[in-house]
Amino acid sequence: MKKIILSLLMLFLPMYCLDAKCRKQGTIKYKQDDYNWSKKYTVDITFMTGTEMNQATGSLTYESYYNYAVIFWDNDQTTIIKINFLTCAYTNFDCSCLNYVSTDLRGNDKRGIEWNICLSGNCY
């Protein structure tokens, strides 16, 4: 069942995200182990609510009260990060709420890997 949902996600999410309301460029890195982070990557990030993610995938996989960051990589890979402690909206993500974020965003992907998202010019 998970493979079917992921396959549908890969088919429909890119089309949906082309019209996404909130896209920002940011710097991301992921936790390699308990002490080390990966190198930093500057990428375009699409922010969506759980409701938008469920609409895009035709599923109920994503939690409505959370926000998600979606990164599309060059090799047709997608990383979806469930953001901790950021609630901009429950139905449609509005980029204006990111104007008040003063720290890096943190979250985990479906594999449990921790990610750091920096949207400011002061990324460490």
Count CB neighbours of 124 within 10 A: 9
Q: What is the 3-state secondary structure (H, E, C) of the chain?
A: CHHHHHHHHHHHHHHHHCCCCCEEEEEEEEECCCCCECCCEEEEEEEEEHHHHHHHHCCCCCCCCCEEEEEECCCCCEEEEEECCCCCCCCCCCHHHHHHCCCCEEEECCCCCEEEEECCCCCC
- pLDDT, one tens digit per residue, over 15-68 is 444 455 799 999 999 999 999 999 999 999 999 999 999 999 899 999 988 999
Domain ranges in the chain?
A: 2-118
Q: Does domain 2-118 have CATH number 2.30.29?
A: yes
pTM, 2 dp:
0.80
* Structure-model confidence comparison of residues 91 and 105, the more confident one: 105
